[in-house]
Amino acid sequence: MGVHITLHSSRHFVLTIFHGSVSDHELEAFVEELLLDKYDRDKGVRLAILSEGASSSRLSYHALYAAGRRMRQCRFRQRHGKLAIIAGKPVDFGLAKVYQIATKITDHDEIKVLHKGDLTSAAQWLGISDLSENIQQIIKSVEQSAGEGLSIQAIH
């Protein structure tokens, strides 16, 4: 799995970049990481990038749906946080929509699924437009490194 997480703790913002192949077990471990207190902030915002290098060929529909259901429980979702997902490929856009449906909380729909190239729109909606340049630099760096496993960066 290639997943990078950047936590901007002072802004209550989490950036996640998927840039490798993800299996059911790896997705479950990633969800467990995201549910830790250091990420699960009240009214936070999140941006997930499914890059061109991301692959869901080892991922089952069941695991994706289960991850979405599990993420309903986090404080971030319960307290009207926002998540924007940007999908680099059409198949990833479809999978992100499945995740969106699985995480839907009654009377609260604060997830947007966008196509590649919509980073500006996502940043505006999330209220982090001032971080756009930094986000683009992180995405470029992560995609060029093509590292495997989970990498975590904290910015205060």
CATH label of the domain that carries residue 151: 3.30.750.24
pLDDT of 113 = 94
User: How do residues 65-122 score in pLDDT, each as one tens digit?
Assistant: 888 888 877 766 666 678 899 998 998 998 889 888 887 765 555 889 999 889 999 9
Range of the domain at 148: 2-155
Tell me the pLDDT tens digit for each residue of 17-56. Answer: 988 888 888 888 888 888 877 776 666 889 999 988 888 8
Q: Provide the number of structural domains found in the chain.
A: 1
Handedness of CA 6, 60, 148, 139 (dihedral sign): negative
Q: Is the pLDDT of residue 147 over 70?
A: no
The runs of H, that is alpha helices, within the chain are: 24-34, 61-71, 75-78, 90-103, 119-126, 132-145
pLDDT at 156 over 80: no
Q: Enumerate residues 6+ apart whose C-beta is below 8 A from 63.
A: 24, 27, 28
User: What CA–CA distance (Å, rounded) separates 63 from 28?
Assistant: 8
Q: What is the pLDDT of residue 106?
A: 58
Confidence check: pLDDT of 130 > 90: yes
What distance in Å separates the CA atoms of residue 18 and residue 85, rounded to the nearest whole number?
A: 11
Who contacts 128 (Cβ-Cβ below 8 Å, separation ≥6)? 11, 13, 45, 47, 135
- Looking at residue 78, its pLDDT comes to 60
pLDDT of residue 103: 79
pLDDT at position 142 is: 85
Whether the pLDDT of residue 150 is over 80: the answer is no
Mean pLDDT of 128-140: 92
What's the pTM value of the predicted model, to 2 decimals?
A: 0.86
